[in-house]
Chains A and B, each alone.
Chain A
């Protein structure tokens, strides 16, 4: 029972992610760690969280659209692996499935219920009632989060009992198929990000980063450092080259 309450609290921390001064608490990396902490196996929690983080790396709220729900995915995926001792890939697969189902519920709340409150807020604005508008902000914040956290907790309560019975019945080709799929799926996130920020001018840098790791085994910290130096060279020294060129042509005229 204590665990169920704690899971609910973790879920609320995640769903209220956008309201904390510290950002990205709702990402699977952190949620996985917290779930692990509640269930007494922090290491497994972090490993599952990291795998899910890779899967969802490209998912984020752009404009007014909702990404798949990562909180329930991390919480239920991690608790599945920790309570049943299943492979990480299975936990990730369950997380992905849960996130899609929860996204539907979330979209319903955002598309149907929150605009109704928005209409109310417009009316209060007409009357100049600031206190009521503040109240609406709080209510819509809770409306977006509490139902989802409750659903996650129910999933945790029901799921861990049902899953334990199921685990032995899954045929091996499905588990190994999932294992392969989980190795590949992060590529979707990378491709989505690249679609967002890459153009013809910058595509070469993606390959540069790739080759640095593929051939020289530099880690991401190293790649980032090299990238920063490159930017400095391109932006600061680029101007100097132009100046020097200008001077050079100036000299030629003499």
Chain B
């Protein structure tokens, strides 16, 4: 924000100092939506510089009130959905060592993300914060979040089935009729083990167990099981 502040408040050191301090307030938001917010912020600072009666506390208020909904929608759409889909598609190629994987990953994520950044800064600077307040009231935000979570969750569901592997080679039956346990479970439902693992992990995470411990736990359990069964 410093170039904007420098340009707008050149002749008014007191306003400049206050504007700079506002710029350093705590912000937590999805990176791709930062330009969006900066556009609104720049427009408000301009108003502040030109209008003597403008109460500059409104800038802080609007910034803070937008932070929540914007970060919410941004995290679920961009970090939660777009990135997952990009990674899901790319990992399929990359597992075979194809260079197409990383390239697709960057393209699928960045093309929409850059468009959001560009138009975020541009449209918000021109139209101001009115739009976002209206969108929030009319329920558009909710709908967009809902849509993003549907696409994201379906991709996650698909990846549970395709990217988790656990072959239970333990044989059941004798002689010729011995078959790995996995085959029996697949007869009940394909990828049942994967779904079961997901269910257990989901439940454990709900118990506020830290992911680091979960990770270490899985590694240790696997090593112990392998040590016992001499796999």
Within 8 Å by CB of B159, from A21, A33, A176, A220, lies: A220
For B201, what are the chain A residues with a Cβ–Cβ distance below 8 Å?
Answer: 187-188, 190-191
Stretch at the interface among B36-44, B51-59, B145-153: B145-153
For A188, what are the chain B residues with a Cβ–Cβ distance below 8 Å?
Answer: 201, 205, 211, 214-215, 218
Closest to A213 in B: B161
Q: Verify if A221 is at the interface (C-beta below 8 Å from B).
A: yes
* A134-B102 in contact (CB<8A): no
For B187, what are the chain A residues with a Cβ–Cβ distance below 8 Å?
Answer: none
Q: How far is the CB of B128 from chain A (nearest CB, A)?
A: 25
* A46-B150 in contact (CB<8A): no
For A151, what are the chain B residues with a Cβ–Cβ distance below 8 Å?
Answer: none
Within 8 Å by CB of B106, from A22, A44, A173, A230, lies: A22
* A206-B214 in contact (CB<8A): no
How many chain-A residues does the 8 Å CB contact rule pick out? 92
Within 8 Å by CB of A196, from B6, B13, B80, B158, lies: B80
Q: How far is the CB of A43 from chain B (nearest CB, A)?
A: 4
* Contact A63 to B28, CB < 8 A, known contacts A21-B114, A227-B155: yes
A178 to B83, CA, bound (A): 27
Q: Verify if B135 is at the interface (C-beta below 8 Å from A).
A: no
For A127, what are the chain B residues with a Cβ–Cβ distance below 8 Å?
Answer: 17
* B206-A195 in contact (CB<8A): yes
For A210, what are the chain B residues with a Cβ–Cβ distance below 8 Å?
Answer: 157-158, 160-161, 191, 195
* A49-B94 in contact (CB<8A): yes
* B205-A195 in contact (CB<8A): yes
Within 8 Å by CB of B164, from A21, A33, A186, lies: A186
* A53-B80 in contact (CB<8A): no
Stretch at the interface among B119-127, B172-180, B223-231: B223-231
Within 8 Å by CB of A184, from B75, B154, B164, B227, lies: B164
* Contact A202 to B153, CB < 8 A, known contacts A44-B97, A231-B147: yes
Q: Verify if A234 is at the interface (C-beta below 8 Å from B).
A: yes
For A180, what are the chain B residues with a Cβ–Cβ distance below 8 Å?
Answer: 166, 222, 225-226, 231
* B102-A49 in contact (CB<8A): yes
Q: Verify if A228 is at the interface (C-beta below 8 Å from B).
A: yes
Q: How far is the CB of A45 from chain B (nearest CB, A)?
A: 9
Within 8 Å by CB of A33, from B6, B102, B197, lies: B102
* A220-B85 in contact (CB<8A): yes
Q: How far is the CB of B165 from chain A (nearest CB, A)?
A: 4
* B160-A190 in contact (CB<8A): yes
Closest to A183 in B: B165
* A214-B190 in contact (CB<8A): yes
A132 to B75, CA, bound (A): 32
Q: Mark B109-142, 1 if CB is under 8 A from A, else 0.
A: 1100110000000000000000000000000000
* Contact A174 to B223, CB < 8 A, known contacts A187-B164, A195-B206, A202-B146: yes
* B155-A33 in contact (CB<8A): no
Stretch at the interface among A54-62, A158-166, A244-252: A54-62
Q: Verify if B162 is at the interface (C-beta below 8 Å from A).
A: yes
* B215-A96 in contact (CB<8A): yes
Which one of B5, B23, B99 has the highest number of Cβ atoms from chain A below 10 Å of its Cβ?
A: B99
Given contacts A22-B106, A219-B89, A219-B158, list 7 more A-B pairs with CB under 8 A.
A50-B91, A50-B94, A133-B23, A188-B214, A203-B153, A213-B160, A224-B151
Residues in B lying within 8 Å of A, measured CB to CB: 2, 5-6, 13, 16-17, 20-21, 23-24, 26, 28, 31-32, 75-76, 79-81, 83-92, 94-99, 101-102, 105-106, 109-110, 113-114, 143, 146-167, 189-191, 194-195, 197-198, 201-202, 204-206, 211-212, 214-215, 218-219, 221-227, 230-231
- Mind listing 19 A-B residue pairs with CB under 8 Å? A29-B90, A29-B91, A47-B95, A49-B102, A50-B91, A50-B95, A122-B21, A125-B17, A133-B2, A177-B222, A177-B224, A184-B164, A209-B160, A210-B161, A214-B194, A219-B92, A220-B158, A221-B89, A231-B150
List 4 tightest A-B contacts by C-beta distance, closest first. A209-B157, A177-B223, A209-B154, A50-B94
